[in-house]
Chains A and B, each alone.
Chain A
Amino acid sequence: MKFYGYPRPDGKVGARNYVALIPSVGCVNALVSHIEHMVRGTVAIRHDQGCLHPIADTEQVTRTLINLGKNPNVAGALVISLGCEMVVGEQVYEGIKASGKPVDMVRVHELGGMFETINKGAKIAANMVFETSGIQREEFGMDKLVFGTKCGSSDTTSGLSSNLVTGEVCRLMTNNGGIFIQGEICDIMGGEYALKNLSVDEEEGEKIVDAVRDLYERGMAVGADVRGSQMTAGNVAGGLTTLVEKALGANAKGDNVSIQGFLNYAEIPTGPPGRYIMAFPGHGFENLTGSAAGGAIVHLFTTGRGAPNGNPIMPAIKICGNAKTNVSMRDHIDVDVASIIDETETIEQAGQRFYEYAVSVANGKLTRAEILNFDSGMEILIKGPVM
């Protein structure tokens, strides 16, 4: 098993080779879509944020856009600004430029509307694809791999099969020097102390517990005890008895691998390689965006009932241990681990198989979500009120 990826100027290695079209505000999404359709090799990172947030959210959106541009799957980036938004296009441009990749910017108010902006922006994007599409894959060590993970449309099989198999991948890939990013604060709720106990640094571990407290308090601010909404009637009918049980099943995606640190939403880990916990939510769109902005080049997405979504710049592999779903949702499932439920394969065997599969995706094999174009939607997490 070898990893062949796209070398980047900052020393990171990509699994894909896109020119990203990054709107600094959702108001220009239509224009970004037009350029994407005109220029092969571009990928639009459409989102609905960028304006009328509290400052903390403007900073979070800015960081997210910069770090999406820095994602190793991105070869170059074109920032598309409107001109009156709170997110400052130049900041996004400069932030991505620091990675050494080609980056450019166009501004709709300066150029005078859609057609002029497309005229300039599409030419820039086309030239950027022309230059970057010649970058060749090279052989790299397994220590260059960065995987994210989440569980979605989960059922009883998730905590008994796909999550445990993903946990084995976490163990294998971090042993080889890779980075593994996990999160979903809603799913950690109930298992936060188990994760704190796995943290190499107590302060970092306490930040995981703080993130759960923050989620609880934000729920209470709108009159909801999120412990209740996190434990659904379907969960109970499926056999989950307590929130802690649900959380431990979700946490199992990282096995009992030590945790190197806590990451804010869309933050790139700068500490030693290994397992990290990011403050991304469970909701798929914001979740995958946070993982991609953190630098994940492939996402390991466990499912029980069949979640179809991917992300524009980061392939998401669907792994499922429910034999019925593996038939009914076959269009969307990449890896079948019903063998764990059937007792025909061990967690260790399936973990090795899934690790090799994930590397093959990093090497260029397309995921179901990519093949079906089921990966164009994304969103950026904001925490405060929309003004």
Chain B
Amino acid sequence: MAKYAKLIDDKDNVATAVADCAAGDELTVRFKGKETTYACNHDMPFGHKIAIVAINKGQKIMKYGEAIGSASQDIKKGDWVHTHNVKDDYKVLDKQGNPLPGQED
């Protein structure tokens, strides 16, 4: 049975698997009438993300058309993308754009 991943926006560089995946599985993305297949490099449970392009360290991870964090290491196309290779950049900012006190990296 085909396994699928969800791509939400044109700008996204990750898709979300809607099946449990093992390394070597092929994941099909249907987006705007086009089907594309990506080979999983890692085991990855339902709901986790796969890189659909190579993402260099420091580059933004894009989902919903927005940056959700940045790559903490180089990520290859087909890699599992999660907390082990993504840095959460979010901080609550004051009106001048400086982080409010109390937030560690």
Contact = CB atoms under 8 A, between A and B. Distances in A.
B48 A239 contact: yes
B68 A213 contact: no
B10 interface: no
Nearest to B81: A241
Contacts of B46: 156, 239
Given A239-B46, A239-B48, A239-B49, A227 B90 contact: yes
Interface in B69-87: 69, 81-83, 86
A236 B83 contact: yes
| Max chain B C-beta neighbours (<10 A), residue from A155, A225, A252 | A225
Range class of the A interface residue count: 20 to 34
Chain B: number of interface residues, binned into ranges: 20 to 34
A243 B90 contact: yes
B92 A248 contact: no
A213 B103 CA distance: 12
A213 B94 contact: yes
Interface string A236-268: 101111111100110110000000000000000
A225 B91 CA distance: 11
Mostly helix, strand, loop or mixed at chain A's interface? Answer: helix
Interface in A145-169: 155-157, 160, 164
A157 to B, nearest CB: 8
A216 interface: yes
B17 to A, nearest CB: 8
- Interface of chain B, main secondary structure: loop
A305 to B, nearest CB: 13
A251 B68 CA distance: 13
A212 interface: yes
B66 interface: yes
Interface in A118-135: none
Contact of A249 (B64, B89, B101, B102): B64
A241 B69 contact: yes
Contacts of A236: 82-83
A252 B24 CA distance: 32
A241 B86 contact: yes
Contacts of A245: 63-64, 68-69
Q: Which 4 A-B pairs have the closest CB atoms?
A: A156-B47, A239-B47, A245-B68, A239-B48
24 contacts: A156-B46, A156-B47, A157-B47, A160-B18, A190-B90, A213-B92, A216-B92, A220-B101, A220-B102, A227-B92, A239-B46, A239-B47, A241-B49, A241-B68, A241-B83, A242-B61, A242-B88, A242-B89, A243-B90, A244-B69, A245-B69, A248-B64, A248-B66, A251-B64
Interface of B: 4, 6, 8, 16-18, 30, 45-49, 61, 63-64, 66-69, 81-83, 86, 88-90, 92, 94-95, 100-104
